[in-house]
Structure 1
């Protein structure tokens, strides 16, 4: 607790540095309370305004959050220390990681040599061949693909887009439940997450409408393979969401199609709806290799210019070695066939678990992607109960803002026969303590 750590300093910057040091060194952990402003001011013999300024600086950098009468606490994922998932206990079947089945990942062969000479690629940051491949890849699904760019993965791209368009304190509409690393990233940038409820068709229009009315400056969503819920936009849902967003032309819409080729659902993209500010992102980590930290994005001209301007000032470009590796895989017929088999297998495995759970009266969600979301009342009871039976699943707390509890189960390498056994064990855990299940 905060009382066990002595915060020091006589200025706002030194007080903030003291708290940051405590968080970095582990003396203050996620959820620990900081002293009330006036109490700390008295302890340090400084004005309340000095402490308030220090806390504001810490909030702006994503280290702490203030919850009204609940006071100021260390953020769940402070920007100086990432929130790592718990290690998988030895001997358990890992269904918590969200990773693809290694059997469906190709063996990439990097280019044989580095680029000739010692020179900058800032003038030509993208390989023309890969750029054209990306235009066909994204544009073939109906997304405008005139303006494309690359990034070091989806999170890198989202972070750059948000940091160039928004300022600390601005609000972002986020899926709830949603991808925990995105939730953490928004917080680390000093932005505020506004929860938008999801269902099997993705973001709910009335919830997005409420977020827009609340003044969000950006929206981050997934059109399919929504993580962790597994939702996918239908054509009707896409149209309803576009109608909401067209009434807010200044809102930046970031669409993260992270599992495009293995999502198992057609793409109904918001980017095809004539929005003013938008970016459609795609990555290859789920079907070409988890170590290929590369993403492509198609954007409106203003968004593209802001992204590339910031990229130019930081890393400058995405490694041409990486680009050539991705290009080789994307244009390889054997790899294309392997990805097709992966998409089919992931769909069968996901559906097998949903069906097996339903046979025991357990409702679950997962119409696309590699994960299944199961609502429960007590996440810890279910996670620990399944652990005792040899399974390791992800508690939903990491993915939730204000939505009801649940657990996420990754089905990428869960064969149908194993799904039947897991569903039986899941029902057994619920039967041992009926109060743990939310129905």
Structure 2
């Protein structure tokens, strides 16, 4: 525990609030150890049970974790202190953010006028014409669309699905390496993450089976454009995963198909396989605009009822102004042509960097999506070395649980000619790292 911060409180709630205050104000940093239960109880003059109750509440809310003999520590990403991306230093080429190229986004044109209404839209939360467009979007890729609904983006939807389906302490299978915001979200919901290895075709079936046998109650994965590796399901891999999942019909399977329009890969989805409990989430932020916080969801009837029931009690609906904006874009042929051009450009840019790195015998993954994943021995050495060359890339640590080290390079705006220069600088940095760190 940080020496300058003293935990206070005479009740379990007071102790928990003191720890939370320390985390949110910076007195307790990620990884800082908390006192053992009996020692803190003696210091505060309370019973060990009171401290244990406080710690249990903090664990359930994602602020602290217990690491066996390593004791109880502040979580790496505590739920009261969101992890924001570091500011890109001036003068560097930003290849760390995972963002699409705005050159392939249409100009957003909200409806010119929206008539005022009496009351609320809770009775009719979805615009009928956008619902029809959403059904067609899913059905195009074989995803059943009898039950669809809307949400405020992928993570908003996934958080709602998990929080209605699971209880604090339940386990969720997640990709490793995986989407860093999801890896932050799951523990913040008080849930346990069980990492499942990812290779070039997505989730590894035997690793998924082991997680399911261990008691996970939900699985969250991406069928294509997987972040950060760019993996995508082949037909054979999808079928292998479906065979595994059929052994556990009560488990909720959530697919995040956020790169549906620009991933550069065919759709072989778990959602199209007839599972009992499933949902697929698709957003428009990657191909229509990052400020469009809207997602379409297709799912089974039970999942739909639970999702919409919770939304009804909170935000109620997605803004109809936003819905009208999305509907106009989805129906626009010129916008579809622009998105298709973006998908082709992203594929060219990924391939250019992978090929340029391959010329130096540097292995990289990135068969779909907006990023390339490059295994390395020392993330910090590579990130800092490339920074001196004018490049800003993402260390893989924030995307990993047990997976080996790597760096993520966003290629969405990287011109093929620049990829050649980046690869040469990467090779030079690796050579320097080997000389400095002994390979």
Q: TM-score normalized by structure 1? A: 0.98
Return the offset for 1:114: 2.6
Q: What is aligned with 1:185?
A: 185
- Specify the SS of the correspondent of 1:356: helix
Structure 1 CA distance, aligned partners of 2:415 and 2:263? 18
CA distance in 2, matches of 1:404, 1:201: 17
TM-score, normalised via structure 2 length: 0.98
What is the CA-CA distance between 1:45 and the residue it aligns to?
Answer: 1.5
Structure 2 counterpart SS, 1:118 = coil
Deviates more, 1:241-250 or 1:35-44: 35-44
What's the counterpart of residue 164 of structure 1? 164
Other-structure match for 2:120: 120
1:147 equivalent in structure 2: 147
Alpha-carbon distance between aligned partners in 1 of 2:267 and 2:436, rounded to the nearest angstrom: 36
The equivalent residue for 2:293 is: 293
Note the C-alpha offset of 1:438.
12
Three-state SS of the structure 2 residue aligned to 1:433 is helix
Q: Secondary structure at the match of 2:303?
A: helix
Residue 65 (structure 1) aligned with residue 69 (structure 2): no
Following superposition of structure 1 onto structure 2, how do residues 244-323 of structure 1 map, counting pairs within 5 Å? 244-323=244-323
The gaps in structure 1 that reach 5 residues or longer are none
Provide the rounded CA distance (Å) in 2 between the counterparts of 1:422 and 1:298. Answer: 40
Question: Can you list the C-alpha shifts for 1:96-121, whole angstroms capped at 9, x where unaligned?
Answer: 00000111111011011234333211
- Partner of 1:58, secondary structure, is helix
Deviations 1:216-271 (CA, angstroms, capped at 9, x unpaired) = 00000000000001100000000000001001000000000001000000010101
**Number of residue-to-residue matches in the alignment:** 439
The 5-angstrom pairing of residues 158-237 of structure 1 reads 158-237=158-237
- The superposition leaves residues 47-98 of structure 1 with CA deviations (integer Å, 9 ceiling, x where unpaired) of 2221111111000001111111111111121111101121111110000000
Return the offset for 1:6. 0.5
1:231/1:436 CA distance change after superposition, 3 Å: farther
Q: Give the deviation of 1:434 after TM superposition.
A: 1.7
How far 1:3 moved relative to its partner?
2.5
Matched, 1:243 2:239: no
Tell me by how many angstroms 1:11 deviates. Answer: 1.1
Match of 1:427 in 2: 427
**2:327 corresponding residue in structure 1:** 327
Contact residue 379 and residue 436 of structure 1 kept, 8 A? no
Task: Name which of structure 1's ranges 24-33 and 280-289 shifts more when overlaid on structure 2.
Answer: 24-33
Q: Per the alignment, do residues 435 and 53 of structure 1 end up closer, same or farther by CA in structure 2, a change over 3 Å counting? A: farther
Q: Provide Cα deviations, 1:111-141, integer angstroms capped at 9, x if missing partner.
A: 1123433321111100000000011111110
